[in-house]
Amino acid sequence: MALNADPDVLIPAARNAMALQGNHEGYLKALLGVQDELAAAIVSPGAGAAVREAMTNAHTKGHDLAVKLQEIIQTLQDTGIRIDASDMDAAAQVRNATSLGTNGAVDVPAPSGTSPVNTNF
């Protein structure tokens, strides 16, 4: 599968992901607003605390995701970098060249013309 990282495609996709993340964060904030009541409604005190902790962790991770998405959007807008199939081919060549034979790829081109080895025996 080839990577085609065109900012004209990636920026709107990242913005869409950020909008969806914003919706998700809004839902989590609403749940955080009632977490005490939710924790009290759960019969087990340990389970109530676990619910509160899980909701807080989800909110924190969602916020971190939003920050990363914003960084991606900003970087794409600032640099305008494009990555296409030729970049992926070049990266594969570098990986093959630096693998020192450990990647299972044969980095030797197929022979052309006649073979110098006599195979007629």
pTM, rounded to two decimals? 0.47
User: For the segment 31-80, what is each residue's pLDDT rounded down to a tens digit?
Assistant: 777 877 777 777 777 887 888 888 888 888 888 888 888 887 788 777 76
Rounded CA-CA distance 79/91 in Å is: 20
Nearest to 14 by CA among 79, 59, 72, 88: 72
Residue 51: how many CB atoms within 10 A of its CB?
17
What mean pLDDT do residues 99-103 have? 66
Averaged pLDDT, 1-17: 73
